[in-house]
Amino acid sequence: MTGGALDGVVVISLEQAVAAPYCSSRLADAGARVIKIERAEGDFARRYDADVNGQSAYFVWLNRGKESVCLDIKAADDLALLLALIDGADVFVQNLLPGAAARAGLGGDVLRARNPRLITCDISGYGESGPYADMKAYDLLVQAESGLASITGTPDGPARVGVSVSDIGTGMYAYAAILEALFERERSGRGRAIAVSLFDAMADWMNVPYLQYAYAGKAPQRIGLHHATIAPYGGYACRDGSIVIAVQNEREWATFCAEILGDPSLAIDGRFATNVRRVEHRAELDAVIGAALARIDHADLTSRLRAAAIAHGNVNDVAGLARHPQLRTVAVETAAGPVALIAPPARTSDSERALGRVPEIGEHTDAVRREFLVRNANA
């Protein structure tokens, strides 16, 4: 895909699974030429499922707009081709097993010595050093290791967040760091080494629970569809369904008491007068709210909440998301026909961004080899 802000930027990505492909897919969305290096059998994420016209939902989502080149980096000729591609690239991304890239001669220091303008981005599970550096890491493992699972779920037990947040968060951080490095290179003329780990990404997201523990000696408890430190902020039953309500300040709490609960005195009740007190008396608070909402139909409740400017939402399932009136989708071409993906969240003032085609395994191998041979012949 061309015409984006990164038009002319060449990215070589030796990638698999989710984190690195997420990062490189966003670079491709922005107009970069992304050459995805795969084994002969392809990125194993191609086989996570076969739910999208026989293709993997993960792969279709994360690999639009890329070229697929199959190489065996243990074969001398293929490694030489890969090195030549990296020598002419702006960005190199890799998320191989710990130490594998360096052992193959693809360590960032080596590559930047050959190409000083190159930006290298190493994505790992736990970083390049420390006692966990050589450990394999996948999304669920990192959700557990980082403490995220301990604050997710219900009092009955911890839970995994239902999407791969460790991978996705890491891919976001890598993408942002690469954009910073490209901007800095415009000033300095030199590339930069970037290292992002799944553990560091999730640890950063855990800063509020960490600070609460480190400075107040407490950690959030698992409370299901409620907020650990704000109340009322969570899911409640009404007469014919359920709803999520979020009260953010004392002004909203007073409005909620008067216009939704029908009891203005609750706003100055000593148990509920401040957010801290409401959290301390959460069980009593939820009992009061639950009794009041149980008498109100969902349609009436949502109408009253909207009129009172109290934040609220429906507890949708995936089918509800698919029908949601705010949902935007965009068509992406695949070998099995067009697929409607959920559109990227950032919109620009010029136009809706078109997304590139999802490649088949090794679809561009021969073309890239020919391009390299022509380039060498003309050098």
Q: Which residues are tagged catalytic?
A: 227
In this structure, what DSSP letter does residue 45 have? G
Q: Are 236 and 248 in contact (CB under 8 A)?
A: no
Q: What are phi and psi of 235, to 5 degrees?
A: -90, 135
- How far is Cα 69 from Cα 367, in angstroms, rounded to an integer? 9
- How far is Cα 57 from Cα 341, in angstroms, rounded to an integer? 10
Core vs surface per residue 120-143: b (16+ CB within 10 A) or e: bbbbbbbbeeeeeeeeebebebbb
- Start-to-end CA span in the chain (Å): 26
Q: Are 221 and 155 in contact (CB under 8 A)?
A: yes
- How far is Cα 168 from Cα 18, in angstroms, rounded to an integer? 7
Phi-psi category of residue 67: left, alpha or beta, with phi > 0 → left and psi -120 to 50 → alpha? beta
Q: Are 115 and 87 in contact (CB under 8 A)?
A: yes
- How far is Cα 182 from Cα 94, in angstroms, rounded to an integer? 17
Q: Tell me the torsion sign for CA atoms 337, 342, 346, 347.
A: positive
- How far is Cα 116 from Cα 87, in angstroms, rounded to an integer? 9
